[in-house]
Amino acid sequence: MQGIQPNKGENDMVNQINMLETKDVVQTSTQTNVLVIKDLMQDELKAFYDYAANVNQHDLYLTFEQVANAEMFEKYLQREQVRPIGFIDKVRGTLIQHENKADLVLTASLSKANLFGLLKLYHNIIGREIDMNDMEISDEAIRTSASVKWGVPLPAERPVKQFHKYSIYQLKGEAVYKSTFQHQSICAALATTLNIYNSDDLDVYFNKLTLAGQTVIKGKLHTDGTINTEQHAEQKDNHIAYSIGIICIDVDHEKYEYTPYLSPKYPLSVVVQENAGIVQSLSLQANADMMDAEVLKQFGTMLEYVLTTSDSVSNSTMASYVEELMAPYIRETNKSSQENILERLKKIVQLYPHNIALSDQQGNMTFEELEQRSDIIAKRLIKEGFNAEDKAVISVNQDHELILLMIGVIKAGGVYIPVDPNYPAERISFILKDSAAQFFISNLSHYFEDTNYIKIHPAELLQQTKLEQIHDIPLPAYTPQSGYVIYTSGTSGVPKGVQVPCENIISLIEATQKEFELSANDVWTMFHSSSFDFSVWEMWGSLLTGAKLVVVPRETATSLYDYYELLIEHKVTVLNQTPSSFYALQNIESEQRTPRLNSIRLIIFGGEALDNTKLKKWFQRYSSSKCRLVNMYGITETTVHVTHQNILKKNLDISSQSIGEPIKGWKISIRDADGASCLLGVEGEIWVGGAGLSQGYLNRVELNREKFIIDETSGERWYKSGDLGRMKSDGSIDYLGRIDSQVKIRGYRIELDEIKKQISRVPGVRDVVVTVHNTEKHADEHKQILAFFESNKAYSSNEMKEILLQVMPSYMIPSNSVQVNEIPLTINGKVDFKKLINEQNEPYQSEKNSTSGENVLLDIWSKILGKPITDEDSFFDCGGNSLLAVSLLSELKQKVSPDLTLKELYLHSSPNRMRTFLEQKEWGDVRV
């Protein structure tokens, strides 16, 4: 890094520099420039008045301001210095006088006159002949717009546009003859600073203005301060979009003060004021809609650091300075005093013993009953040999018994591992072996070999008889190691178990209960599978605040019309949804004549990126004052949630990337590839720290070392998320996608590499690539996994699906697996996904506009699936899912049969079967 070292003896002067002078300036005009001629002499004043009396004011408009005192003089002068010329094709001259003091302010559009034109006009006024048409103009007006990606403006809520101005190097009346700052050293410092901001390839406009003339240089700025004029980024209309404008002004006389433009012309404008080659001031300017004030301030601080630091500054010193600058934006995470999870649950039972704790198809259960029955389960486990810190894989259907079993394991001092009983046998077997679980609680008949566990049928633990056998068994004291393990998809193609202690659950509830006003008056649903960490929030968020938890059967969760009715029936108040699922639920609600989800007061989104623009239907029916919408970003490894962001109606026109601020006790730092902190607005990896950090991955020593980092500087522990983000000046985070191949579809975190690995194991497969494709632009519910493979043996998409279902959950199965002769590559040697998708899975475009007739069903099926199909193809065999089924049903209701139900769609899932069904229905010949 190149820095600038002041001369010896200059340290005292540097200490007196006004390092950052902050001003919020009302935005005026990028085309207006102003020249102030100070302290006019008597002969100049006489010449001015004579000139004004005789001049034809076609090109020049002169005004006079005689003020009463010095204070008014300064006020009028400041007003004229920032007053734009507007659309007037004239030069405005304003003479301001008080007693013997007089200043002349000349204002013009840059297209009319620049510094030299205004100087020529001034000399003409005091007696030198000059043709007004001979005034030199600037070419700065001829350019296209550009941007600085790290500027990150906050949503503008100001009534008028503004720009921010910061004086970086203002020498306040001190001796400046020792200054060594030259144009090239300033440009070199600017280039070095831009490099810290990952912006080392920007087009720069450099304009040196002196009384002798101007020098214009355009090109790429190098770290040595030179500008390569042969490198340009050609934009539309053959103009160049400049991201940085450097304007150096040296009028070589204290009599003149020149402002090149009243409002910044470039995303980042650098204005250097000099006098006889000596730097007087250096300021940065940026429009508020291009750059946030705090971001510009931090950039200026870094530039000042580079300018005034010796050449020998090390990268570590620079990194330490960045850490210092970012420290105020990383919130403290002191944990509040906590009770343990069993104490908290017991307190809830004492407060609300007769309130309904659980509800499902079998009925209701009070908190008192929940306490008693979970105690029985814990004692029966201990009787079977369960010890503190033992692990139990629980694989049962999702109902109230599942909840009791998980609580029972915690009360026995252990760790529960929820596994969907519909998972392939191979995956369940892997989890049993990898976790080294001592117990397997399930009614699955399959026996898994090569694993050492005690299998217990759930009925044995849940039975209410023979209680005398366990009456005297004491329950252990709370064990901090108790908790849960959830298995997620792995980058190595192998699932990995994340172990989370119970104290993290308590931290999560304490961090959110007050913010979301969670109480015993609420009704929650456990909609998500217990194998998905969103369910941890649903289950414990409800139980530990005394609310009612409605446990949703999987068949209801996969039928959103049925789930919609369940929400109404139980008067649910707190709804947790992945965005894709909610978009479909919102469509169902919009089909109703009047709003029916009036009981919902809080909706929390999680699991995948939210598109605000897709929530308009909801806000057309429900006010944010009645129902609060919150987007939450979270990771299994950091206990479900990390940040929260309120969604307001005014945000709906912006597809925001913001995931909000960390919840209390959690914190985020944005780091570069070397683990150093990134400045405001700079893209980097999201690191998460604080109360929610899990204990790490089971049996993954190397992975834990890679992902769970101890910061050498602070000694703090962080989790490297693999997500890209950037921090804004208000402490909120923008989410910018994944670093690796991990994706989220309908809330499930999926590693494409794991899918690729499983397909590569299929006999005959030589090569395979896996990608994600949207059949509709920006439509998350239409996001599908596609696989393309080369093979010596022929496989249809359905055959590949059947093979993969033996080893992977259904949500990981590609919607379409396409066999190709050869996987195409781009000229750079990378997989040409665009060619694969266009040639092998070209989205279906119906050319028919009819809404009735023989082919309308085929058209609708193909439109929703995004590919051509045949009359006999089953919707669900061709990539359809429960969310797409809602879209399909909505189309069918509009164009074919308004009273069609989702159940009927599931029963008649091909175009041909649906056509037959509708014909029978029309003739009254439908059989159930």
**Rounded Cα–Cα distance for residues 559 and 825 (Å):** 41
Residue 271, helix vs strand vs coil: strand
pLDDT at 489: 78
Residue 529 has pLDDT above 50, yes or no: yes
* Crossing angle for the helix pair 560-569 and 882-895, to the nearest 10 degrees: 90
Residue 138 has pLDDT above 60, yes or no: no
Q: How far is CA 97 from the centre of its chain?
A: 55
| CATH architecture observed for domain 665-738 | Roll (2.30)
Give pLDDT tens digits for 365-383: 999 999 999 999 999 999 9
pTM exceeding the 0.85 threshold for the entire prediction: no
Type and span of the H or E element at 46:
helix 42-54
**Higher-confidence residue: 333 or 759?**
759
Whose structure tokens read 């403006």?
153
Average pLDDT over residues 329-349: 84
**Higher-confidence residue: 695 or 20?**
695
Average pLDDT, the chain: 84
| CATH architecture observed for domain 742-840 | 2-Layer Sandwich (3.30)
pLDDT at 743: 75
Average pLDDT over residues 54-76: 86
Give pLDDT tens digits for 423-452: 989 899 999 999 999 999 999 988 787 778
Any idea where the domains of the chain sit in the sequence? 11-22+141-313, 32-134, 665-738, 742-840, 856-922
Residue 845 has pLDDT above 80, yes or no: no
Characterize the bridge pairing of strands 391-395 and 439-442: parallel
How many Cβ atoms sit within 10 Å of the Cβ of residue 325? 17
**Rounded Cα–Cα distance for residues 273 and 271 (Å):** 6
pLDDT at 591: 85
How many Cβ atoms sit within 10 Å of the Cβ of residue 906? 15
Give pLDDT tens digits for 203-220: 888 988 887 778 888 888
Residue 928 has pLDDT above 50, yes or no: no
Give pLDDT tens digits for 857-866: 888 888 888 7
**Rounded Cα–Cα distance for residues 512 and 630 (Å):** 12
Judge whether 543 and 357 are in contact, CB under 8 Å.
Answer: yes
**Higher-confidence residue: 261 or 352?**
352
**Higher-confidence residue: 227 or 726?**
726
How many Cβ atoms sit within 10 Å of the Cβ of residue 15? 8
Give pLDDT tens digits for 580-609: 889 889 988 988 889 999 999 999 999 888
Residue 572 has pLDDT above 70, yes or no: yes
Predicted confidence band at 640 (pLDDT cuts at 50, 70, 90)? Answer: very high
pLDDT at 96: 95
Judge whether 747 and 783 are in contact, CB under 8 Å.
Answer: no
Residue 177 has pLDDT above 50, yes or no: no
pLDDT at 319: 86
pLDDT at 875: 87
* Nearest residue to 144 via CA among 264, 31, 28, 234: 234
Residue 776 has pLDDT above 80, yes or no: no
Residue 134 has pLDDT above 80, yes or no: no
pLDDT at 722: 92
11-22+141-313 CATH: 3.30.559
* Least confident residue range of 3-7, 438-442, 736-740: 3-7
* Least confident residue range of 424-433, 453-462, 882-891: 882-891
Average pLDDT over residues 650-658: 76
Backbone angles phi, psi at 595, to 5 degrees: -60, 135
Judge whether 624 and 605 are in contact, CB under 8 Å.
Answer: no
Q: Does domain 856-922 have CATH number 3.30.1330.10?
A: no
pLDDT at 907: 85
Average pLDDT over residues 333-343: 78
Whose structure tokens read 């350019």?
143
Predicted confidence band at 921 (pLDDT cuts at 50, 70, 90)? Answer: confident
Q: Which residues pair with residue 61 across a beta bridge?
A: 92
Q: Dig out the tokens for 484 from the structure.
A: 């849960």
Predicted confidence band at 825 (pLDDT cuts at 50, 70, 90)? Answer: low
In terms of DSSP H, where are the helices of 169-237? 183-196
* Least confident residue range of 122-126, 522-526, 635-639, 640-644: 122-126
Predicted confidence band at 652 (pLDDT cuts at 50, 70, 90)? Answer: confident
Fold match flag (11-22+141-313 vs 742-840): no
Predicted confidence band at 760 (pLDDT cuts at 50, 70, 90)? Answer: confident
pLDDT at 101: 92
Give pLDDT tens digits for 295-328: 999 999 898 888 877 666 677 788 889 999 999 9
* Nearest residue to 553 via CA among 736, 365, 780, 400: 400
Give pLDDT tens digits for 245-287: 999 998 877 788 899 888 888 889 999 888 877 777 888 888 8
